[in-house]
Chain A
């Protein structure tokens, strides 16, 4: 029974603490993320959502606690192990981060060229199939600056999934997109996740966009998890921090003022 539970948990985080100087960004976070699910980290800007993504991908090391992804302890990996580990992770950054001096085709082909020895015709077919999957067949020769924001995000999505990763990490994937592009990206995320059996983590502060997509949400506030559950449950939550964030209220436990150590604001808590 215990073994079955381990197999189903893709990401296990225990007592995670991360500090920047004297500021504690994450304070004792624990969670289990089930395989095949889409999970959102939500919360106000600057609360440490992206920091969690960076800790999961191994870009940052925690000060305390552990992060386990598919049974591998990310927080203790050497550079070489991290390099191998990241081949199984797809990341969609906030602005897509396409390589500006490469064509769309070469952008998607780059991970394949680096990590596989596929012959050119096969590589071409694979890249074109990913490009067609995001509905952009025929733009392979364009440069990134010739694409709209939504198209660039879709190309970045195709690049992120080209190696068929087991885990997908999204950092604000819909920021700055029009409603049609948002729906397109959302559908792509859901369909890809279900078709490939991925585990996806989405960092966002947009409540309405995420309610229609994710299976489970973590609301973060003041370096801790203020609430968690399926989006429908959180919408009706009476927990003050969750209620404040979900309804966009100014009054509540999530402070309006930036809190620095040693200021009078600390005395008011």
Chain B
């Protein structure tokens, strides 16, 4: 009987946790107040989790652009279509690779730091102290980080895309001696602002919300011990990564 109970709780656990996560989201949304203090707090978090992720996102973007161009030129040369490289690289960047890779990087860089920070605040009784001072920790701690994640990820994705294009330019034009005119003209004629760029930005907005929600939720519900915070941080990366890829497929299938 005890074994049956154990397996039942293994099955129902994730469902219950999903419900708790949604309730947590509702609590965050209901605690939105347009005060100067909250705006200041969101801006501070945009700097901490967004601006400070810029370097890693830019470096990765640049090299992803280079390696994509390398592979694309190798593949397209076989069909005599290597002049299409910019089109292939930028379309795949705008639609898929930009939003997905930036979100995965963001989950690893910012999601983990948010979870660990909130988990540690819980372990050192700071969250409890806020509740006892009649201060809502969800409004003060969780909400600014969630909104900052929502705003930061699309901006980081745009930066990733820009640096990836630069990487592609450096490799295709600088290293492979492609004609710059052909490179840019293919982009002008083949890339559509709304269909390609904005479509990808919507995805990154959703990914920003997912990573932000998962990070604050796991931080807030972490066991107040060293091992508990460690597990919560790992869970943030694992679940964020899975959700990013699952939602990417769903959004691409249904909305593109």
What is the bound-complex CA distance between A100 and B126, given in angstroms?
8
Do A84 and B132 touch across chains, with their CB atoms under 8 A apart?
no
B11 on interface, CB distance cutoff 8 Å: no
- Selected from A83, A85, A100, A114, the residue in CB contact (under 8 A) with B124 is A100
Do A99 and B132 touch across chains, with their CB atoms under 8 A apart?
no
A70 to chain B, nearest CB (A): 15
Do A93 and B133 touch across chains, with their CB atoms under 8 A apart?
no
A95 on interface, CB distance cutoff 8 Å: yes
By a CB distance below 8 angstroms, the chain B residues around A111 are 133-135
Known contacts being A97-B124, A113-B37, is A86 close to B129, with CB within 8 Å? Answer: no
Known: A59-B131, A83-B134, A89-B132. 4 other contacts (CB 8 A): A57-B132, A87-B134, A93-B128, A111-B133
By a CB distance below 8 angstroms, the chain A residues around B131 are 59, 86
B92 on interface, CB distance cutoff 8 Å: no
What is the bound-complex CA distance between A98 and B121, given in angstroms?
10
Do A114 and B133 touch across chains, with their CB atoms under 8 A apart?
yes
Give the bracket for the number of chain B residues in contact with chain A: 10 to 19
Is chain B's binding surface mostly helix, strand, loop or mixed? helix
A110 on interface, CB distance cutoff 8 Å: yes
What is the bound-complex CA distance between A114 and B135, given in angstroms?
7
Do B134 and A59 touch across chains, with their CB atoms under 8 A apart?
no
Interface size on A, residues (CB 8 A): 22
B146 to chain A, nearest CB (A): 17
B185 on interface, CB distance cutoff 8 Å: no
What is the bound-complex CA distance between A95 and B224, given in angstroms?
14
- Selected from A84, A87, A93, A115, the residue in CB contact (under 8 A) with B129 is A93
CB-CB contacts below 8 Å: B124-145 with A = 124-126, 128-129, 131-136, 140
Do B129 and A91 touch across chains, with their CB atoms under 8 A apart?
yes
By a CB distance below 8 angstroms, the chain B residues around A85 are 134
What is the bound-complex CA distance between A205 and B133, given in angstroms?
25
By a CB distance below 8 angstroms, the chain B residues around A100 are 120-121, 124, 126
What is the bound-complex CA distance between A242 and B120, given in angstroms?
38
Q: Give the top 6 A-B pairs by smallest Cβ distance, nearest first.
A: A97-B129, A86-B134, A97-B125, A91-B132, A87-B134, A114-B135
What are 6 A-B contacts defined by CB distance under 8 Å? A59-B128, A83-B134, A86-B134, A97-B129, A99-B121, A114-B134
A155 to chain B, nearest CB (A): 12
CB-CB contacts below 8 Å: A50-101 with B = 57, 59, 83-87, 89, 91, 93-95, 97-100
What is the bound-complex CA distance between A87 and B130, given in angstroms?
11
By a CB distance below 8 angstroms, the chain B residues around A110 are 133, 135
- Selected from B37, B126, B135, B136, the residue in CB contact (under 8 A) with A97 is B126
What is the bound-complex CA distance between A99 and B130, given in angstroms?
9
CB-CB nearest in chain B for A83: B134
CB-CB nearest in chain A for B131: A59
By a CB distance below 8 angstroms, the chain A residues around B136 are 83
CB-CB nearest in chain B for A79: B136
- Selected from A59, A86, A94, A95, the residue in CB contact (under 8 A) with B133 is A86
CB-CB nearest in chain A for B117: A101
B142 to chain A, nearest CB (A): 15
CB-CB nearest in chain A for B133: A111
Quick one: which of B124, B131, B132 has the most chain A CB within 10 A?
B132
Do A97 and B134 touch across chains, with their CB atoms under 8 A apart?
no
Contact pattern, B 18-39, Cβ under 8 Å of A = 1, otherwise 0: 0000000000000000000100
Do A84 and B135 touch across chains, with their CB atoms under 8 A apart?
no
B31 to chain A, nearest CB (A): 12
By a CB distance below 8 angstroms, the chain A residues around B120 are 100
What is the bound-complex CA distance between A86 and B135, given in angstroms?
9
What is the bound-complex CA distance between A93 and B124, given in angstroms?
10
Do B125 and A95 touch across chains, with their CB atoms under 8 A apart?
yes
Contact pattern, B 203-231, Cβ under 8 Å of A = 1, otherwise 0: 00000000000000000000000000000
What is the bound-complex CA distance between A66 and B72, given in angstroms?
73
What is the bound-complex CA distance between A110 and B137, given in angstroms?
12
Do B126 and A84 touch across chains, with their CB atoms under 8 A apart?
no
By a CB distance below 8 angstroms, the chain B residues around A113 are 37
Contact pattern, B 127-171, Cβ under 8 Å of A = 1, otherwise 0: 011011111100010000000000000000000000000000000
By a CB distance below 8 angstroms, the chain B residues around A59 are 128, 131-132
CB-CB nearest in chain B for A163: B133
Do B124 and A86 touch across chains, with their CB atoms under 8 A apart?
no
By a CB distance below 8 angstroms, the chain B residues around A87 are 134
CB-CB nearest in chain A for B48: A101
